[in-house]
Structure 1
Amino acid sequence: MPLSLGLAMYRALSWRTAQPVQDPPPPRPRGPLIWMHATSPERHLALRDLGARLRAQRPEVNLLITVNASVPVAAPWRDPVPVPVMSDHPLAVRAFLDHWKPDLCLWTGGDLMPNLISLAADRGTVMVLADLEARDLPRRRAGWLTDLTRPCLERFGAILTASDAAATQLRRLGVSGARIEAHSRLLMGVSPPPCPDTALTAAAQALSGRPLWLAAYLQPEEFAPVLAAHRDALRFQHRLLLVAVPAEPGETGALTEAAGAAGLRFADWHGGDPIGEEVQLLICDDSSDLGLWYRMAPITFMAGSLAGGATGHAPFAAAALGSAVLYGPNIADHAEAYARLAQARAARAVQDAETLAQAVVQLSAPDHAAAMALAGWDTITESAAVTDHLIELIQDLLDRKEARDARA
Structure 2
Amino acid sequence: MSGLADLAFWRHLRGTRTLATPPDPVAPPGDGPLVLICGPSDAMPGLAGALRRLRPGLRLGALGPVAVDRGDPAVPQVLPEPPPDAALSRRLLAALDPAALVLTDGAVPAALVFACDDAGVPVTLVAGQIPRAPATQRGLWHDSRARSPVTRIARVLVPDRATRAEALRLGLAPARVDITGPLSPVIDPPPVNRPEAEALRPLMHARPVWLAAALPLAEADAVLDAHAALLTARHRALLLIAPADPAEAEAIASTAEARGLSVARRERDEEPGPGVQVMVAGDAAELGLWYRLAPVTFMGGTLAGGGAARHPFEPAGLGSAIIHGPATGEHGAEWTALDRARAARKVANAAALRPAVEDLTAPDQAAALAHAAWTVATDGAAVIRRIAEAVLSDLPEARG
Q: Paired residue for 2:37?
A: 36
3-state DSSP of counterpart to 1:107: strand
Q: Paired residue for 2:124?
A: 128
The alignment status of 1:339 with 2:336, answered yes or no, reads yes
The alignment status of 1:54 with 2:51, answered yes or no, reads yes
Q: Paired residue for 2:6?
A: none
* Residues 225 and 353 in structure 1, CA contact (< 8 A), matched pair in contact too: no
* Residues 36 and 63 in structure 1, CA contact (< 8 A), matched pair in contact too: yes
Q: Paired residue for 1:147?
A: 142
Counterpart Cα distance in 1 of 2:342 and 2:208: 22
Q: Paired residue for 2:370?
A: 373
User: Amino acid of the residue matched to residue 207 of structure 1?
Assistant: M
User: Amino acid of the residue matched to residue 34 of structure 2?
Assistant: L
- Alpha-carbon deviation of 1:364? 3.0
The alignment status of 1:258 with 2:257, answered yes or no, reads no
- Which of 114, 128, 132 is equivalent to 1:138? 132
Structure 1, unpaired ranges of 5+: 1-17, 404-408
1:6-405 matches, cutoff 5 A: 28-31=27-30, 32-37=33-38, 40=41, 44=42, 46-64=43-61, 79-80=73-74, 90=84, 98=92, 101=96, 102-110=98-106, 112-115=108-111, 117-118=113-114, 121=117, 125-130=121-126, 132-133=127-128, 135-138=129-132, 144-145=138-139, 146-148=141-143, 151-189=148-186, 192=189, 199-216=196-213, 218=214, 222-238=215-231, 239=235, 240-246=237-243, 251-262=245-256, 263=258, 265-269=262-266, 271-285=268-282, 289-303=286-300, 312-327=309-324, 329-332=327-330, 334-349=331-346, 353-354=350-351, 356-357=353-354, 359-399=356-396
- Alpha-carbon deviation of 1:368? 3.2
Counterpart Cα distance in 2 of 1:103 and 1:174: 26
- Alpha-carbon deviation of 1:233? 0.3
- Alpha-carbon deviation of 1:356? 4.6
Counterpart Cα distance in 2 of 1:213 and 1:24: 57
* Residues 141 and 173 in structure 1, CA contact (< 8 A), matched pair in contact too: no
Counterpart Cα distance in 2 of 1:186 and 1:64: 21
Structure 2, unpaired ranges of 5+: 1-14
Q: 1:154 to 1:205 in 2, by over 3 A?
A: same
User: Amino acid of the residue matched to residue 248 of structure 2?
Assistant: A
How many residue pairs align between the two structures?
369
Given the two structures, how large is their TM-score scaled by the length of structure 1? 0.71
Q: 1:78 to 1:327 in 2, by over 3 A?
A: farther
- Alpha-carbon deviation of 1:175? 0.7
Given the two structures, how large is their TM-score scaled by the length of structure 2? 0.72
3-state DSSP of counterpart to 2:219: helix
- Alpha-carbon deviation of 1:275? 2.0
Counterpart Cα distance in 2 of 1:200 and 1:209: 16
3-state DSSP of counterpart to 1:325: strand
